[in-house]
Amino acid sequence: MPDTNFEPKIIGFFCNWCTYAGADLAGVSRLQYPPNIRVIRVMCSGTVSPHHVLRAFQKGADGVLIGGCHIGDCHYLRGNFMTIKRMRFLQDLLKFTGCEPGRLHLEWISAAEGPKFAETVRNFTEKIRKLGPSRLKLAVRAA
């Protein structure tokens, strides 16, 4: 039976220097975005290991959004080089195993991009809402 009251659960890993500050700006600018996202602040998006993403999916997240500084703007100079390597790899691996790679999204959002932050969260939430509950989550629940 399809879940008509499905509310996506989304985990956000946001870098302290850019995206988290962008979220802050979206807040003080009173921009509206859905409350489905649970934010975890990290010092650099490069600290987000694929383990954390997979763990989130395992624990029932329907989507994972990673936010970091634009390439070249990293507070630690090149931390986000690793972020994109990891996430692009993980997306391809999820695709191969049929784990819906679209549920993992990486976006560069600077501290000045409050509107972009709100829009990204809005779009991502809607996308996940359309996709429905994660295949992995349903399999875990059924087991």
Contact by Cβ (8 Å): 106, 68 = yes
At residue 99, what is the residue type?
A: C
Instruction: Reduce the secondary structure of 92-119 to three states and give it as a string.
Output: HHHHHCCCCHHHEEEEECCCCCHHHHHH
Angstrom distance (rounded) from CA 126 to CA 105: 13
Nearest approach, Cβ of 14 to another protein (angstroms)? 15
Nearest approach, Cβ of 117 to another protein (angstroms)? 13
Nearer to another protein, 28 or 143 (CB): 143
Nearer to another protein, 41 or 78 (CB): 78
What are the residues binding another protein (CB under 8 A)?
Answer: 46, 50-51, 54-55, 57-58, 71, 78-82, 84-85, 87-93, 95-100, 102, 105-108, 120, 123-124, 127, 135-136, 139-140, 143
Nearer to another protein, 28 or 43 (CB): 43
Nearer to another protein, 31 or 84 (CB): 84
Instruction: Name the one residue in this structure whose structure tokens are 């986000």.
Output: 80
Tokens of 54: 């997979």
